[in-house]
Amino acid sequence: MKDLFSVNGPITRALTKIGNVMIISVIWFVTSIPIITIGASTTALYYTVVKCIRMNRGYMIKEYFKSWKQNFFKATVMTLLLLVICLFLLTWMSTLGASLEDIITNGMRSAFKDKSEQLVELYMVCGIVLVIVGMLFTYMFPLLSRLDISTMQIIFMSFVLAIRYIYFSVLLLVILYGFVLFVKVMPPAIILAPGCWAYMSSFLIEKAMKKYLPVPEEGQDAWWVGL
- pLDDT tens track for 95-140: 877 777 766 666 555 455 556 677 777 888 888 999 999 999 999 9
Asked, for residue 218, whether it belongs to a domain, the answer is no
Asked, for residue 19, whether it belongs to a domain, the answer is yes
Residue 2, pLDDT > 90, answer no
* 2 contact partners, CB below 8 Å, separation of at least 6: none
CA distance 149 to 95: 38
Asked, for residue 2, whether it belongs to a domain, the answer is no
Would you place residue 1 in the very low, low, confident or very high pLDDT band (cuts 50, 70, 90)? low
Asked, for residue 219, whether it belongs to a domain, the answer is no
- Note the pLDDT tens digit of each residue in 189-205: 999 999 999 999 999 99
The pLDDT score that the predictor gives to residue 5 is: 56
Asked, for residue 163, whether it belongs to a domain, the answer is yes
The average pLDDT across 213-220 equals 69
Q: What is the pTM of this model?
A: 0.88
**Domain total in the chain:** 1
Residue numbers of the domain that contains 75: 10-209
Asked, for residue 21, whether it belongs to a domain, the answer is yes
Asked, for residue 168, whether it belongs to a domain, the answer is yes
Asked, for residue 225, whether it belongs to a domain, the answer is no
Q: What share of the chain is helix, strand, coil (3-state, %, to 5)?
A: 80, 0, 20
